[in-house]
Amino acid sequence: MFGNLKAQPADKILQLIGQFRADPRSDKIDLGVGVYKDATGLTPVMRAVKAAERRLWETETTKTYTGLAGEPEFNAAIAALVLGGTITPDRVSSVATPGGTGACRQAFELIRLASPHATVWVSDPTWPNHLSILNYLGMNVRTYRYFDAETRGVDFAAMMADLSLIRSGDVVLLHGCCHNPTGANLTLPEWQAVADLLERTGAVPLIDLAYQGFGDGLEADAAGLRLIAGRLPEVLIAASCSKNFGIYRERTGALIGLSEPARREVTQGTLAFLNRQNFSFPPDHGARLVTMILNDDALRADWQAELEEVRQGMLSLREHLARELRDLSGSDRFGFIAQHRGMFSRLGASAEQVERLKAEHGIYMVGDSRMNIAGLNATTVPILARAILAVGI
């Protein structure tokens, strides 16, 4: 049997981690994988997470199984964080999942179960795992244009032109905020226009929210999602707690389904059923920490304060880099770096230029010229700026 297995293509983002580690240069700079790092290059455990873990260690009395959907308190807390109380509970189904990836996977499985022939529309480009999992599941996938290579913003006219082909029952995958890999995001009026289109066509949105709190703030980052949720009868949301709680390896996320109230019970039952088919019970440790933090005023305030420091830090790095590039190049063509939001910006460089950054300057970014802004600090920003110009970007 094992003789039938073929080598599988590696994940290019994860591959970069190994390449970076193997590079002996002491002044190398890692702008690869999407993990937050502070100015010293560390990915810290957040203060509120540490405090919740201590409290959990003292008070936890059993590690018996949770439910198939995870703990109801977690599902309620995460739905409130994402939806902000805008949606009545009789429309909301939710299950805990192993991270945001697990939520995406379960969402795709639900789509396949409900409408095996539906087409899932994804942005060009999108997070590579979206395509990888959709293809693995044998689903119909089409792309819509998204990134404007010239302005490095969203080509909204092209996006809407492509989405004019969507049909009732199709699914449109949207990044809730902090688009990965480009950093370019929809404005609120553009979300409005997407909602109009979805309403008119009867297509279903699947919103991947992996960076709430990393862009313009916890509420602003969910504004487009809430607008969609308030207008459309059916919505899928894949939420991740990996980044905004810094609990990457705990595998914490949720798949939320919004339906008409009459369909809620069956939707909730189906989400639980799909969990059972894949892994029975979702991981609980991270979900419990998130619940404790969100439901405790002091822990929540401290978490929000630290998340805000993280967000502001990334914004300052963006402004610093854009300023440095403006001063060095004497042009405004890098202004998009300060306009983008979240951890990532796509520079719009060629594969060859990305390769030169690595070979000649020890600067590692993903091959499509996606850089992780959080990999920078005040010392490395000017170094990166000079390298960008030196390779002719």
**What is the end-to-end Cα distance of the chain in Å, rounded?**
49
Choice among 30, 162, 208, 368 that is catalytic: 208
Stretch that binds ligand PLP, among 100-108, 115-123, 148-156, 262-270 (CB under 6 A): 100-108
Partnered with residue 239 across adjacent β-strands are 209, 254
Residue given tokens 């190398």 in the structure block = 28
CB of 198 to ligand TYF, least distance (A): 25
CB of 291 to ligand PLP, least distance (A): 17
Rg (CA), the chain: 21
Partnered with residue 81 across adjacent β-strands are none
CB of 129 to ligand TYF, least distance (A): 5
Q: Is 245 in the site for ligand PLP (CB under 6 A)?
A: no
Region of residue 61 (left: phi > 0; alpha: psi -120 to 50; beta: else): alpha
Residue 316 tokens, joined: 């300052």
Whether a cis peptide bond, with omega within 30° of 0, leads into 125 is yes
Q: Which of 11/265 has CB closer to ligand TYF? A: 11
Residue 163 interacting partner from ligand TYF, ligand PLP, none (CB closer than 5 to 8 Å by kind): none
Catalytic, 208? Answer yes
Q: Is 34 in the site for ligand TYF (CB under 6 A)?
A: yes
- Tell which positions 122-141 bind ligand TYF, by CB under 6 A: 127, 129
Distance between CA atoms of 219 and 237, rounded to whole angstroms? 16
Catalytic, 210? Answer yes
Residue 215 interacting partner from ligand TYF, ligand PLP, none (CB closer than 5 to 8 Å by kind): none
- Count of residues near ligand TYF by CB under 6 A: 8
The answer to whether 314 and 308 are in contact (CB under 8 A) is: no
> Packing angle between helix 264-278 and helix 99-114, nearest 10 degrees?
120
- Residue 50's contacts (CB-CB under 8 Å, 6 or more residues apart) are none
Q: Which of 75, 180, 212, 259 binds ligand TYF (CB under 6 A)?
A: 180
Contact string (CB under 6 A) for ligand PLP, positions 285-304, x = contact: --------------------
- Give the residues lining the site for ligand PLP (CB under 6 A): 34, 99-101, 104, 127, 175, 180, 208, 210, 240, 242, 248, 253
